[in-house]
Amino acid sequence: MKHTAGPVRWLSATAVALAAILLIASCSGQRHPAASHPPGAATATGAHGGHGEPFTAPPVTPLRAAERFVNLKMPEPYTPAAPSGGTDEYRCFLLDPGLTGRAFLTGSQFLPQNTGLVHHAIIFRVGPDEAEEAGKLDTRTPGEGWTCFGDAGVGNGSWVGHWAPGANETLLTQKVGYPMPPGSKLIMQVHYNLLAAGDGPIGSDQSGLRLRLTDGKTDLASLETERLPAPVELPCTAEESGPLCDRAAAVRDVVHRFGDQASSTVTGLNQFCNNARPPVASATQHCDQKAGEPATVYAVAGHMHLLGRSIKVELNPGTSGARTLLDIPTYDFDEQAIRPLAEPVTVETGDTLRVTCTHDAGLRRLLPEMRGLPPRYVVWGEGTSDEMCLGLLVWSPRSQSAG
């Protein structure tokens, strides 16, 4: 996010959940229990559909003029190992699309090989210098790839795609794409969650990508991924108790599992979104950001984890020109598809972009993956048992917008 001095300066690049944009694959049709059980429901069965069901790629949309497919996958299988007694690992893998000339990425399909482990994935583009740095990091790290909580492990990575359950390759009709200069490579950051494995064998993963690239001869408007995060300050329910229901203890636990950047994210989100006021425990949180340059929005998505209830993204809320860009009143973890707007929406310098999320700690007792975990005060964190609140925009700066 280049247009503001807001939270993305210190926000985890994995906010994706999603984090996600130019979203890219599908999972099974089994739905998150929260979508079909009201807050007072007593039971829920089955894991959410993003885990455990065999992955079948959806039908391929035919190539359009000047497009070609490039298929990539991890060189060798990788067996995740969550550090610090946690149940999550973020692992980065360097992939080379072999670009000798310029191109644009106009679509992508993540292909999760082991859906019992893969929670989500983010794809970053890096230039030749950063790719060389990533290669050195890969070489000196045992096993495939490198652990990368918080970001891709190297600087200047540009988010050009992601996958989360329920999201297929999404093709925009406008003449737009993510620039792929000669020599650029991709870092595929995969979030592995080990909750579903229980005490059994974890298994390995060898996920891949199908890229849709243009020949670069035709200029396209350059896409960017805009991230709109908000804090998460979800207390334990009245029926729950335990050491991690204390906020300070819960933050220390997140830092223990994911490192010091986790504390910076929690603190920074509250300082930016709440004007440095003390955090307020509430199921609903929001954050406003000001646009620092004009842009055109083509598509939008939202990302939370398993305790998410609803998410909304608004433009200039409370004004006569207010627009709702995204409204998901019943959030479903298994339906995180990117949503192209019926018509592109213009954003002017100084406009307000707001994301609002509601979470429900009561869902813990309904979800099989979480029943055995101790109750906790939930803050922004990178684990499946933690939470996020993230709005995502696919847009172009106005000087490059397409019709």
Say if residue 241 is in the same domain as residue 359.
Answer: yes
For residue 138, tell me if it sits in a domain: yes
The half-sphere exposure of 251 on its side-chain side, counting CA atoms within 13 A, is 14
pLDDT value, residue 50: 46
Say if residue 214 is in the same domain as residue 246.
Answer: no
Dist. CA 80–CA 88, nearest whole Å:
8
Strand partners, 356: 286, 312
pLDDT value, residue 12: 40
For residue 2, tell me if it sits in a domain: no
Strand partners, 297: 345, 395
pLDDT value, residue 52: 57
Choose one of 163, 191, 224: the last residue of a domain.
224
Say if residue 206 is in the same domain as residue 287.
Answer: no
Say if residue 209 is in the same domain as residue 235.
Answer: no
Average pLDDT of the chain is 85
Domain of 327, CATH number, reads: 2.60.120
pLDDT value, residue 56: 78
Q: Is the pLDDT of residue 94 over 90?
A: yes
Instruction: Calculate what percentage of the chain has a pLDDT beyond 90.
Output: 66
Q: Which of 117, 209, 101, 175 is nearest to 400 (CA)?
A: 175
231: three-class secondary structure by DSSP: coil
Q: Is the pLDDT of residue 36 over 70?
A: no
Q: Which of 339, 400, 381 is nearest to 119 (CA)?
A: 381
In this predicted model, what pLDDT tens digit does every residue of 46-74 receive, in sequence order?
344 445 567 777 889 999 999 999 999 99
Residues with Cβ within 8 Å of 175's Cβ and at least 6 positions away in sequence, in order, are 218, 220, 221, 402, 403
Q: Is the pLDDT of residue 90 over 70?
A: yes
Say if residue 239 is in the same domain as residue 210.
Answer: no
CB atoms within 10 A of CB 121: 30
For residue 268, tell me if it sits in a domain: yes
In which band, very low, low, confident or very high, does the pLDDT at 146 lie, cut at 50, 70 and 90? Answer: very high
In which band, very low, low, confident or very high, does the pLDDT at 400 lie, cut at 50, 70 and 90? Answer: low
Domain of 20, CATH number, reads: 2.60.120.310
Say if residue 189 is in the same domain as residue 242.
Answer: no
For residue 1, tell me if it sits in a domain: no
Q: Is the pLDDT of residue 274 over 70?
A: yes
- Helix, strand, coil abundance in the chain, percent, nearest 5: 15, 35, 50
Which tokens sit at 56?
């079948």
For residue 290, tell me if it sits in a domain: yes
Q: Which of 137, 69, 164 is nearest to 384 (CA)?
A: 164
Residues with Cβ within 8 Å of 40's Cβ and at least 6 positions away in sequence, in order, are none
For residue 153, tell me if it sits in a domain: yes
Choose one of 170, 190, 224: the last residue of a domain.
224
For residue 133, tell me if it sits in a domain: yes
In which band, very low, low, confident or very high, does the pLDDT at 149 lie, cut at 50, 70 and 90? Answer: confident
Q: Provide mean pLDDT across the span 146-168.
A: 84
Q: Cβ(389)–Cβ(304) under 8 Å?
A: yes
Say if residue 211 is in the same domain as residue 312.
Answer: no
Choose one of 196, 224, 252: the last residue of a domain.
224
Say if residue 216 is in the same domain as residue 237.
Answer: no
For residue 373, tell me if it sits in a domain: yes
Q: Which of 70, 225, 81, 77 is nearest to 144 (CA)?
A: 77
**Best-predicted range by mean pLDDT (158-172, 173-187, 367-381):** 173-187
Tell me the residue range of the domain where 288 lies.
228-400
Q: Which of 263, 262, 259, 287 is nearest to 275 (CA)?
A: 287
Q: Provide mean pLDDT across the span 328-347.
A: 93
Q: Which of 255, 259, 235 is nearest to 247 (CA)?
A: 235
Q: Provide mean pLDDT across the span 76-80.
A: 95
Say if residue 253 is in the same domain as residue 108.
Answer: no
The number of domains in the chain is 2
Say if residue 220 is in the same domain as residue 276.
Answer: no
In this predicted model, what pLDDT tens digit does every residue of 191-231 receive, in sequence order?
998 876 656 678 999 999 999 999 988 899 999 999 999 99
Say if residue 334 is in the same domain as residue 284.
Answer: yes
Say if residue 152 is in the same domain as residue 257.
Answer: no
